[in-house]
Amino acid sequence: LKRTSIGFRLAAWYSLVLAAGLAVFSVAAWFGMRASLFHAYDDELRDRVKGVQKFMDMQISALSVSEIRDEFREHSVLGPGGDLFQVCNEQGEWLYRSVPLENGNVPIEKPSQLESPRFETLSVAGRPLRFYSQRIVVDGQPYTVQVASPLHEALEAMNAFALMLVFAVPVLLAIAMAGGYWLSKRALDPVGQIASAAQRISIENLAERLPVANTGDQLQRLSQTLNQMFSRLESSVRGIKQFTADASHELRAPIALIRTTAEVAVQNRKREAGEYLAALDDVLAESERTSQVVESLMLLARADAEKEPIERAPVDLCNTVRVAAEQGEKLARSRHVQFSAHVPPGPLRICADAEAIRRAVLVLIDNAVKYSNPGGHVSASVGVDGTDAVVSVADTGMGISPEDLPHIFDRFWRADKARSRSHGGAGLGLSIARWIADVHRGSIEVESTVGQGSVFRLRIPLLNQTIPEP
């Protein structure tokens, strides 16, 4: 029942509202019918009083009281409602009194007591009657005329109508409830299908998609939204798998190299001390590179998990770049590349983690030096562009081809896998630099011409001096 509980709740609410509506309708219909029936009766009674008055107007002067009584008796049986009426004068003398009213001893008011015409329902000899009393003046004399109509037919009709409502309304309600439940179940069925289809999709078969019915309704949107979510999940899972595969590959190669170097050195026991030293040197260098790769990997993993602490504080970018340039100078010297730094006295204040910024600048200088030929030139400079501080690192190296440009920030991506490997690069430097730029709400731009060199620009928003950042 859990799965269909929305359908059930919908149907229940719908039935409740419908039941209330039908109840209100039934009561209103019954009262409406009663009002219109009584209205018809009352109109007829009023007409009959008019008839009596007309008759008396014509006859009163010519006839005696007993003659009038006879006339009344003769005429009244012909009119509608039979002879159910009584007439009396101010002295309480009866001009006419029909037998049933006399037997029932129905009281009448004298003309002077009856202030205004009056309708009432009374029971005479167990039969319900509708009465109408009115004061009339004939030939200067006031009389009270009271006419009556049997009500039993109207009451029977009303009872029949009430009975019909009492039986028909629950039947109608039951049909509507069943219909409502069926409809809501039908409307929600696709939700169940979507749910079971979604259940089948797991990390193993993330490429599968939910069927999308082309109905243009919310359910189509639900399937589409879920499919989009699966696409995003799929691409991030693919990214994670790729990252793990690349990372193990990156680590396997240097470890294999260390191992073979050590094995070769150990196998041949009649080696010179110098050969052992050379082997150890190789092992050391490769281990250093490996631990650098491991450190980069851990940094990126922590960045992905948003656990890498970035503590931003107002710092002078010029100082930070000066420190990075000193380290870059050493790198350049070891590779016989000329290096120059153009850093203004500053300060250029940015809100940043100085250590992270230094690291990003060093990644750019390291690349510029690494991908330059000996004798090439690398320059680092700091400037301002609009509201940003810009660190530019330019080289006269090999450059990057336009096809490669979109990929250089991807993890483990290298233009020339074999050659970069010999330089010790794992293809992680620019990913880390891009992440650092991002967390500082900055960016990295590249301009490059193959064979002529590249310019990398790191942009970081300048700290607004008037509104200090929190």
Ligand X SMILES: Nc1ncnc2c1ncn2[C@@H]1O[C@H](COP(=O)(O)OP(=O)(O)OP(=O)(O)O)[C@@H](O)[C@H]1O
Chain centre to alpha carbon of residue 12:
24
User: In angstroms, what is the minimal distance from the CB of 414 to Mg ion?
Assistant: 9
User: In angstroms, what is the minimal distance from the CB of 361 to ligand X?
Assistant: 13
DSSP reduced 3-state for 382: strand
- The sign one gets for the Cα dihedral 53, 55, 57, 63 is negative
Using CB distances below 5 to 8 A depending on partner kind, what does residue 258 bind out of ligand X, Mg ion, none? Answer: none
Which C-beta is closer to Mg ion: that of 399 or that of 429?
Answer: 429
Q: Which residues bind ligand X (CB under 6 A)?
A: 296, 363, 367-368, 370-371, 395, 397-400, 408, 413-415, 420, 425-431, 454
Site string for Mg ion, 369-408 (x = CB under 5 A): ----------------------------------------
Rounded to 5 degrees, what angle do the CA atoms 461, 465, 469 make? 65
Which C-beta is closer to ligand X: that of 282 or that of 410?
Answer: 410
Which C-beta is closer to ligand X: that of 210 or that of 378?
Answer: 378
The DSSP bridge partners found for residue 127 are: 124
380 sits in which H/E element: strand 377-385
The DSSP bridge partners found for residue 119 are: 132
Which C-beta is closer to ligand X: that of 10 or that of 363?
Answer: 363
Using CB distances below 5 to 8 A depending on partner kind, what does residue 81 bind out of ligand X, Mg ion, none? Answer: none
Residues 420-459 that bind Mg ion (CB under 5 A): 429
CA distances from residue 26 to 12, 160, 269, 434 in whole angstroms, order as listed: 21, 13, 110, 74
User: In angstroms, what is the minimal distance from the CB of 393 to Mg ion?
Assistant: 11
Burial class for 228, CB neighbours closer than 10 Å (0-12, 13-18, 19+): exposed
- Residue indicated by tokens 């009023």: 46
367 binds Mg ion (CB under 5 A): yes
Which C-beta is closer to ligand X: that of 428 or that of 437?
Answer: 428
User: In angstroms, what is the minimal distance from the CB of 423 to ligand X?
Assistant: 7
DSSP reduced 3-state for 171: helix
Radius of gyration, alpha carbons of the chain: 53
Which C-beta is closer to ligand X: that of 146 or that of 367?
Answer: 367
As a residue count, the chain comes to 470
User: In angstroms, what is the minimal distance from the CB of 262 to ligand X?
Assistant: 24
Question: Given the rule CB under 5 A, which residues bind Mg ion?
Answer: 367, 429
